[in-house]
Amino acid sequence: MEIKQLYTNCLSEAAYFIASDGEAAVIDPLRDVDTYLKMAEEQGVKIKYIFETHFHADFVSGHIELAQKTGAPIVYGPLTEAGFKIHLAKDGEEFMVGKLKIKALHTPGHTLESTCYLLHDEAGEPYCIFTGDTLFVGDVGRPDLFSGNMTKEDLAAMMYDSLQSKIKTLNDNLIVYPAHGPGSSCGKALGPETFSTIGAQKAGNYALQEMTKEDFITAVTTGLNTPPSYFPVNARINKEGYDSLDEVYEKGLQPLTVAEFKEKAKDEDIWILDTRPESVFTSGFVPGSISIGLNGRYAEWAGTLIPNKQALILVTEVGQEKESITRLARVGIDNVQGYLQGGYEAWQASGEQIDLIIDIEPDELAMDIPHDNLLEILDVRKPSEFETAHVKGAVNVPLDTLVDPLNVAMIDDTNNLYVHCAGGYRSVIAASLLKRHGYHNLRNVLGGFGKIKAEEGIQVVYPDSVKA
């Protein structure tokens, strides 16, 4: 028996590969399925089933592509309605993978069709459960992402029943393998681990403590941040279907000379996306580029900031072209129309015009605050981060709000704008967006609030409940 968790940090997503006695199953695969095909080939096993715990909202699943390439059926739980052929599992239905038995447990709550898969080992003993977004480490799936006509309170009530009847009755030593880990927007506050046990979750997960249904509904529906804007799009794609990733690569992996790239960039309907690290981007970039570095939560921010069908041309580090396209496709962005051959260095060597963003250290910000009457500090962190602590006088402009031109227009372009986030990744994205909208009096504060709050001479505001 082999159970392998395949974890993707920039999406906080876990897929699973299970193998036994010449057969295999994949649970919640990503859109780029070559990893699973390679594992099956290397181990000499045939992928027999593709199990989906629900219609994912935060990424495009590889279920359709993997089914086309293996012939394996796609298994969803009860109440699933899809635009492609599936095996609709009954609650309690069992599937054999080699000598392993996998039992479907319908657990509506996160979504109507949400289903967990209980695995029994070769000896027939319950060994682990793949909980999808029903149960995380320290949290449960939020009930407000893809609910159809149901309210989040309706789904939270279903979640309570699912946890009481299907999850809390399991043995404490059972391993819990969820679909997401820390950083995912599919829950409120996931723990730092990517797996756990039922016993540990009974002891430490707030949602598994003894409480009334009414108290549970309040607990899981309170404090929910607005989900990323691409979530409904991805859920629809997963339900209705999508283009082959091979076709996406064929269109996107087109090398463009500097002249060809420049010509395409003249089209206002095409955006330039630069996927190099933010520390490299600020020192020079193709004018009009948006920076979203592969080294951060690239796919999530791309999905949030770039419209689903937006035509793109890419500037990447040489050799990172396919990776950049793959990660975009994972969140449903698959209209890349080529990349700059030779990367930014080729653009620079050709003598074409470049742009840059000035980086400053927090001590320079401290020196400028008393003397610059036009100074404005833009804090692009989430409101919850800003409320915990912020620089006195700073304006909170969350990064995800900068996709709306009306929000950008509220920023005074005559001011000297000092942009920061928590650590430096988001502030460069924000600065690139502002540059694209014609704002040029910009400074990117290196190290973000993490370094700013330690700088003498910069006054930080804390709420009464937090000690400075």
Please give the backbone phi and psi of residue 75, each rounded to the nearest 5 degrees, phi first.
-105, 125
447-460 exposure pattern, b = at least 16 Cβ within 10 A, e = fewer: bbbebbeebeebee
The answer for residues whose C-beta is within 8 angstroms of residue 289's C-beta and 6 or more apart is 272, 273, 274, 281, 315, 355, 432, 436
Common-topology check for domains 2-233 and 358-461:
no
pLDDT at 468: 41
pLDDT, tens digit (0-9, with 9 covering 90-100), for 165-177 = 999 999 999 999 9
pLDDT at 147: 66
User: Are 423 and 448 a contacting pair, CB within 8 Å?
Assistant: yes
Q: What fold does the segment set 2-233 form as a domain?
A: Metallo-beta-lactamase; Chain A (3.60.15)
Given its phi and psi angles, is residue 218 left (phi above 0), alpha (psi -120 to 50 degrees) or beta?
alpha
User: Are 76 and 87 a contacting pair, CB within 8 Å?
Assistant: yes
Could you confirm whether domain 358-461 is CATH 3.40.50.1820? no
For the chain, the domains span 2-233, 244-349, 358-461
pLDDT at 227: 86
pLDDT band, very low/low/confident/very high, at 225 (cuts 50, 70, 90)? confident
Between 18-32, 51-65, 140-154, 328-342, the lowest mean confidence (pLDDT) is in 140-154
Between 86-95, 191-200, 238-247, 274-283, the lowest mean confidence (pLDDT) is in 238-247
For 315, the token pair is 């500037």
pLDDT band, very low/low/confident/very high, at 464 (cuts 50, 70, 90)? low
Q: Which residue has the higher pLDDT, 404 or 203?
A: 203
Task: Over range 427-445, report the average pLDDT.
Answer: 96
As beta bridge partners, residue 285 has 355
In the predicted structure, residue 459 carries a pLDDT above the cut 90: yes
Distance (Å, rounded) from C-alpha 193 to C-alpha 87? 32
Say which CATH superfamily domain 244-349 falls into: Rhodanese-like domain (3.40.250.10)
% of the chain residues with pLDDT over 90: 92
Among the listed residues 458, 403, 432, 152, the one whose alpha carbon sits nearest the alpha carbon of residue 283: 432
Task: Over range 260-273, report the average pLDDT.
Answer: 97
The answer for residues whose C-beta is within 8 angstroms of residue 388's C-beta and 6 or more apart is 462, 463, 466
